[in-house]
Chain A
Amino acid sequence: SAVISQKPSRDICQRGTSLTIQCQVDSQVTMMFWYRQQPGQSLTLIATANQGSEATYESGFVIDKFPISRPNLTFSTLTVSNMSPEDSSIYLCSAGRRELGTDTQYFGPGTRLTVL
């Protein structure tokens, strides 16, 4: 199994500022993802974090707004840039392993972001 930790767990930020969320996995994983969950809604994939290369962003999400780093197989960061109240959400880091017929998905505890 894998345990994912995220920092910070929550934050209240001012409009126009940026916040970097850290995601640490306690073992090596092949895939890491960042999701956003707006109030009352299900999860929306922001991007797949690729080790050592640029992240793969989903439609509607761009690197300038959500820069992502993944320097190794256990760590990734997501930055929410130039925040507005519409960015208030839970941001979840997720990691996956797909090998030898298994498909395992792990989720972090989430970062609850409020933008004033």
Chain B
Amino acid sequence: KNEVEQSPQNLTAQEGEFITINCSYSVGISALHWLQQHPGGGIVSLFMLSSGKKKHGRLIATINIQEKHSSLHITASHPRDSAVYICAVRRTSGSRLTFGEGTQLTVNP
């Protein structure tokens, strides 16, 4: 079993829909990152969470440390949101990140 599990693996939505991507992890962490990767390959860091909730524009990320679970929400989705969204955790006992498999999101107009 992977230390970081994401669901769903693939997600197709219509423009304007509310989207949720989930991430569960099985180790103690000091931080959880949500990343966005566009088809060209470059990765953008969206959020770093150690507790609670963060919001940036139409993106909201939450984390529940007790349940070892995080969610990324996109409100009023748009075709430009189409990308791979990756959850990554940093263990409390290390400097490396452990990555989930990613969620391929496609938003159709």
A contacts, CB < 8 Å to B: 31, 33, 37, 41-43, 45, 48, 58, 90, 92, 96, 98, 101-110, 112
Contact = CB atoms under 8 A, between A and B. Distances in A.
Q: Which 3 A-B pairs rank lowest in CB-CB distance, beginning with the nearest?
A: A110-B41, A107-B43, A103-B31
B42 A109 contact: yes
B25 interface: no
28 contacts: A31-B95, A37-B41, A41-B101, A42-B86, A42-B100, A43-B88, A45-B96, A45-B97, A58-B96, A92-B41, A92-B43, A98-B95, A103-B30, A103-B90, A104-B48, A105-B33, A105-B35, A105-B45, A105-B88, A105-B97, A107-B35, A107-B42, A107-B44, A107-B45, A109-B40, A110-B40, A110-B41, A110-B42
A42 B101 contact: yes
Given A48-B96, A103-B30, A108 B45 contact: no
Nearest to A45: B96
In this complex, which of B31, B35, B43, B100 has the most chain A Cβ atoms within 10 angstroms of its Cβ? B43
Interface residue tally of chain B, by bracket? 20 to 34
A47 to B, nearest CB: 10
Nearest to B2: A42
Nearest to A103: B31
B7 interface: no
A6 B50 CA distance: 29
